[in-house]
């Protein structure tokens, strides 16, 4: 090709590429031009719903558009996740996902309407929610060592409650059983309220539940806290030791929450959302609001979120296989 023709060809090629790129760039710069929907896979009123609404308000202020919360509870977050996975990847439908969405459902459900990695654009980690081993006041002992001794003295006499089959607390209790070498019978309930009511009534001896659900009963003297399942003590329950402090180093299990969009989100929109989320999480007053409702701020960008999912999926798959955890 002659030099002049080659130059003209390259010029036309670059011009065509620029013409194609300009609308997308302009569109991304204008985003958002209308309200954004945040799908929250939990019922209104709980800590996770409050988390979603706090984030919606803060993101709306930074993006210059309202972020509207849509509660879509059901099927262990599956309904909400499937809805967002099928939505247009335009930045106007987002998901407040949970560890159950991304690392528990995929290992216990044979068919899901979404894939943890391929169905979403990860935007960031936002918060952890601690899990706590609690006991009926009449259950002998006050430490994990006491509970382990009790369980080993009479195997399978202890029953533990959870707020559902295949839930984070079910996984946490089964991990605790493996770490301590004890046996306990699992009694799943349809939520924290019936599980903790059964615990207070003596139908079960111990339970694993969230710090949010258990703290009022612990502080009211209606149940006693034995150990925190996470790596660090919790701000709401600073007196309760961790599993590691109780003699089981390396133990770490909790619930966590993250922001996601459908797969295929334009990179410029992804960067804008990640930045707005990071800016929100950096505000001390905002972080304190999370602590006040029992959550631990835990910011990580989209890359950190993907890494966490990829790291925890095989771990949770091993727990499910070992304990034969299946969905309801």
State the pTM of this model: 0.87
Mean pLDDT (the chain) is 91
Asked, for residue 6, whether it belongs to a domain, the answer is: no
Question: Residue 125 belongs to what H/E stretch?
Answer: strand 120-136
Cβ atoms of 255 and 230 closer than 8 Å: no
The per-residue pLDDT for range 124-159, each reduced to its tens digit, is 999 999 999 999 999 999 999 999 999 999 887 899
> If you average pLDDT over residues 236-259, what whole number do you get?
96
Per-residue pLDDT for 304 more than 70? yes
Asked, for residue 233, whether it belongs to a domain, the answer is: no
Question: Residue 40 belongs to what H/E stretch?
Answer: strand 36-40
Asked, for residue 328, whether it belongs to a domain, the answer is: no
> If you average pLDDT over residues 201-211, what whole number do you get?
97
Per-residue pLDDT for 178 more than 70? yes
Asked, for residue 9, whether it belongs to a domain, the answer is: no
**114 and 96, same structural domain?**
yes
- Shortest CA distance to 85 belongs to which of 101, 68, 103, 64? 101
Residue 26 has a pLDDT of 52
User: What CATH number is associated with residue 85?
Assistant: 3.40.190.150
C-alpha 43/C-alpha 71 separation (Å) is 6
The four Cα atoms 3, 8, 14, 16 give a dihedral, to 10 degrees, of -150
**267 and 120, same structural domain?**
yes
Total domains, the chain: 2
Asked, for residue 20, whether it belongs to a domain, the answer is: no
Report residue 304 as tokens.
């950190």
Asked, for residue 115, whether it belongs to a domain, the answer is: yes
- For the chain, helix (H) and strand (E) counts, in that order, are 12, 10
DSSP letter assigned to residue 204: S
pLDDT more than 90, % of the chain: 84
**319 and 270, same structural domain?**
yes
Per-residue pLDDT for 269 more than 70? yes
Cβ atoms of 328 and 189 closer than 8 Å: no
Asked, for residue 30, whether it belongs to a domain, the answer is: no
Residue 9 has a pLDDT of 45
28 confidence band (pLDDT: 50, 70, 90): low
Per-residue pLDDT for 319 more than 60? yes
**41 and 114, same structural domain?**
yes
Per-residue pLDDT for 183 more than 50? yes
**266 and 176, same structural domain?**
no
**189 and 141, same structural domain?**
yes
**293 and 152, same structural domain?**
no
Per-residue pLDDT for 3 more than 50? no
**222 and 136, same structural domain?**
yes
| Residue-number span of the structural domain to which 71 is assigned | 35-129+255-323
Per-residue pLDDT for 23 more than 60? no
Cβ atoms of 129 and 212 closer than 8 Å: yes
- Shortest CA distance to 208 belongs to which of 221, 190, 220, 196? 196
**40 and 110, same structural domain?**
yes
C-alpha 10/C-alpha 1 separation (Å) is 12
Per-residue pLDDT for 102 more than 80? yes
Of 212, 228, 244, the domain-final residue: 228
Residue 107 has a pLDDT of 95
> If you average pLDDT over residues 34-43, what whole number do you get?
95
**220 and 165, same structural domain?**
yes
Of 193, 228, 263, the domain-final residue: 228
Per-residue pLDDT for 13 more than 80? no
C-alpha dist (Å) from residue 136 to 33, 141, 206: 53, 10, 6
Other beta carbons within 10 Å of 318: 13
**112 and 260, same structural domain?**
yes
User: What CATH number is associated with residue 188?
Assistant: 3.40.190.10
Asked, for residue 67, whether it belongs to a domain, the answer is: yes
**224 and 137, same structural domain?**
yes
Residue 4 has a pLDDT of 44
Of 184, 213, 228, the domain-final residue: 228
Residue 57 has a pLDDT of 97
C-alpha radius of gyration, the chain, whole number: 23
27 confidence band (pLDDT: 50, 70, 90): very low
């Amino acid at each position: 090709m002659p030099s002049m023709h080659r130059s003209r060809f390259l010029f036309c090629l670059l011009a065509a590429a620029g013409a194609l790129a300009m609308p997308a760039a302009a569109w991304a710069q204008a985003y958002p031009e209308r309200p954004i929907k945040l799908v929250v896979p939990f019922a209104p009123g709980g800590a996770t719903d409050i988390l979603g609404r706090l984030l919606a308000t803060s993101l709306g202020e930074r993006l210059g558009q309202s972020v509207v919360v849509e509660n879509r509870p059901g099927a262990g977050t599956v309904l909400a996740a499937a809805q967002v996975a099928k939505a247009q990847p335009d930045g106007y439908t987002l998901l407040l996902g949970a560890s159950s969405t991304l690392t528990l459902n995929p290992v216990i459900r044979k068919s899901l309407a979404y894939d943890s990695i391929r169905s979403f654009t990860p935007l960031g980690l936002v918060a952890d929610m601690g899990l706590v081993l609690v006991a009926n006041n009449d259950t002998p002992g006050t430490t994990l060592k006491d509970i382990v001794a009790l369980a080993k003295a009479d195997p399978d006499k202890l029953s533990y409650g959870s707020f559902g089959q295949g839930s984070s607390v079910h996984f946490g209790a089964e991990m605790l059983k493996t770490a301590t070498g004890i046996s306990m019978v699992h009694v799943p309930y349809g939520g924290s309220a019936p599980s903790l009511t059964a615990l207070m009534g003596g139908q079960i001896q111990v339970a694993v539940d969230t710090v949010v659900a258990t703290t009022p009963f612990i502080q009211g003297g209606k149940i006693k806290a034995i150990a925190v399942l996470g790596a660090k003590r919790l701000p709401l329950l600073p007196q309760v030791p961790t599993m590691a402090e109780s003699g089981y180093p390396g133990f770490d299990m909790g619930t966590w929450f993250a922001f996601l969009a459908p797969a295929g989100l334009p990179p410029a929109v992804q960067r804008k959302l990640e930045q707005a989320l990071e800016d929100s999480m950096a505000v001390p007053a905002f972080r304190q609001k999370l602590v006040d409702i029992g959550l631990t701020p835990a910011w990580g960008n989209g890359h950190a979120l993907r890494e966490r999912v990829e790291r925890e999926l095989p771990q949770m798959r091993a727990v499910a296989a070992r304990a034969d955890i299946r969905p309801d």
